[in-house]
């Protein structure tokens, strides 16, 4: 007999507060026990026109921050959640992304070889992924909260609101076309009211057994992040490249045990992501491959990588896959270009993303370029040195190559919830 007919009941929670385009709060019942598979449904937005959402983040693109709170205590929080999810959405196998994840959040990840030899997602028509004019229960997304609150993955004995007496979920939003990477940035973004689903344990015997099995220490990896800003390089010429090198210390990981790390490279100028109002590549979530870039990481005063650091695309991709497993990106998504093709007049046109404007190399070439590696150590100090070469470019649509970069550094940080005598505290390992 199904547990859902005897032991579990799915509770639907409407927001206790919802400030349009700003914030949503859900509060859970006190003295109850929930399964950890909580999820948000009807999460997303609608627009005033037929547009497409972010290909990488889908409707998750409107989530700026999401937190699991107990009164004034933070159990888990994810800043820049939309950026993290744009990367995390790509982890895994192509078929799963194509048939499960993308329909779940209205993204466009997972690729097929078309009859014209181009590699692309089977995209819906405009208006078939973002509802036009009003809220929708279909053209939105479902978010498993275990993806953004890793602590839930370790709470197999349930989430007990007899312990977490003021448990709530808070979501903060961004709501403009550029920030959520709409296909047309001039169109409106209206975040609709989502719903929280939580499976409550209603069988007293099952609840008692789960509470008895609750461990005294719940270890988990939290996703935290810091940002390195690379300034715009000026004074370039078309004969001698300027080698720009930027070094910065990331204080966000000091005195913490850090696991895997992922780095996204996003332009600091929103205008780089659009041609007038039409989206280029992945819009605000384009992580670009810059000319002859090199990255070195210093951990506790020592270089993590030999010689000058990560200095070629092959080594970069090897480290990324070793740390994070399969990554579902289109061909040449992490490359500087397609062979020696001039971007304005592609020659190698088979097995590549669809060309832009009939003949131009796709802007998605080199727009899914990430660093990934494992630290697996306590960090006293973490610093990054990023280097690139800058020259004058007169190629239309490629003026971003010398512009500033926000390098979002996401890392797994080891934490624990320590339970004792009916109370608890959250501590770093």
Q: What is the pLDDT of residues 366-413, one digit of tens each?
A: 999 999 999 999 999 999 999 999 987 766 667 788 999 999 999 999
- pLDDT greater than 70 at residue 328: yes
pLDDT of residue 126: 57
Beta pairing class for 8-13 and 195-201: antiparallel
What would the mean pLDDT of 47-51 be, rounded to a whole number? 88
Tell me the per-residue pLDDT of 358-378, one tens digit each, with 9 for 90 and over: 788 899 999 999 999 999 999
Distance CA 192, CA 284 (A): 21
What would the mean pLDDT of 328-336 be, rounded to a whole number? 94
Tell me the per-residue pLDDT of 83-131, one tens digit each, with 9 for 90 and over: 999 999 999 999 999 999 999 999 999 999 999 999 999 876 655 678 7
Tell me the per-residue pLDDT of 124-149, one tens digit each, with 9 for 90 and over: 665 567 877 788 888 899 999 999 99
Percent of the chain with pLDDT over 90: 81
What would the mean pLDDT of 317-341 be, rounded to a whole number? 93
pLDDT of residue 397: 66
pLDDT of residue 396: 66
Are the beta carbons of 396 and 344 closer than 8 angstroms?
A: yes
- What is the reported pTM? 0.94
For all residues of the chain together, what is the average pLDDT?
A: 93
Tell me the per-residue pLDDT of 224-274, one tens digit each, with 9 for 90 and over: 999 999 999 988 877 788 999 999 999 999 999 999 999 999 999 999 999
CA 160 to chain centre: 28
Domain ranges of the chain: 3-214, 219-414
Residue (of 329, 299, 333, 334) closest to 316 by Cα position: 334
Distance CA 84, CA 410 (A): 7
Beta pairing class for 45-47 and 131-132: parallel
Question: How many of the other CB atoms lie within 10 Å of CB of 82?
Answer: 26
CA 414 to chain centre: 19
- Superfamily (CATH) of domain 3-214: Adenovirus Type 2 Hexon, domain 4 (2.70.9.10)
- pLDDT confidence bin for 18, thresholds 50/70/90: very high
- pLDDT greater than 60 at residue 429: yes
- pLDDT confidence bin for 1, thresholds 50/70/90: very low
């Amino acid at each position: 007999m199904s547990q859902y007919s005897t032991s579990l009941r799915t509770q639907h929670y409407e927001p206790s507060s919802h400030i349009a385009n700003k914030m949503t709060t859900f509060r859970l019942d006190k003295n109850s026990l929930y399964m950890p598979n909580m999820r948000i449904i009807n999460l997303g937005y609608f627009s005033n026109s037929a547009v497409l959402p972010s290909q990488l983040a889908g409707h998750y693109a409107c989530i700026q921050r999401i937190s699991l709170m107990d009164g004034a205590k933070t159990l888990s929080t994810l800043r820049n959640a939309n950026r993290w999810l744009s990367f995390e959405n790509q982890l895994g196998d192509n078929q799963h992304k194509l048939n499960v994840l993308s329909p779940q959040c209205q993204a466009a990840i997972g690729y097929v070889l078309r009859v014209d030899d181009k590699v692309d997602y089977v995209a819906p028509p405009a208006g078939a992924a973002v509802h036009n004019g009003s809220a929708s229960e279909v053209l939105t997304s479902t978010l498993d909260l275990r993806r953004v609150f890793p602590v839930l993955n370790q709470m197999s004995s349930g989430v007990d609101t007899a312990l977490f007496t003021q448990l709530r979920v808070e979501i903060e939003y961004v709501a403009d076309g550029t920030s959520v990477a709409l296909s047309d940035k001039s169109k409106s973004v209206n975040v609709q009211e989502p719903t929280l689903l939580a499976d409550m344990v209603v069988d007293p015997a099952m609840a008692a057994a789960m509470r008895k099995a609750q461990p005294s220490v719940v270890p988990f990896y939290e996703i935290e992040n810091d940002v390195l800003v690379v300034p715009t390089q000026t004074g370039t010429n078309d004969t001698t490249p300027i080698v720009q090198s930027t070094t910065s210390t990331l204080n966000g990981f000091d005195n913490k045990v850090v696991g895997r790390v992922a780095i996204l490279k996003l332009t600091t100028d929103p205008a780089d992501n659009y041609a007038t109002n039409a989206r280029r590549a992945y819009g605000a979530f384009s992580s670009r491959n810059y000319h002859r870039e090199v990255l070195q990481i210093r951990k506790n005063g020592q270089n993590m990588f030999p010689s000058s650091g990560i200095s070629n695309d092959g080594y970069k991709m090897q480290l990324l896959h070793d740390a994070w497993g399969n990554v579902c990106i289109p061909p040449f998504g992490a490359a500087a270009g397609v062979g020696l093709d001039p971007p304005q007049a592609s020659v190698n046109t088979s097995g590549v993303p669809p060309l832009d404007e009939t003949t131009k190399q796709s802007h998605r070439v080199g727009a899914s370029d990430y660093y990934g590696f494992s630290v697996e150590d306590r960090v006293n100090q973490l610093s990054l040195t990023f280097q690139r070469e800058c020259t004058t470019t007169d190629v239309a649509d490629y003026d971003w190559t010398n512009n500033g970069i926000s390098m979002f550094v996401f890392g797994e940080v080891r934490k624990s919830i320590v339970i004792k005598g009916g109370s608890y505290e959250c501590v770093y390992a």
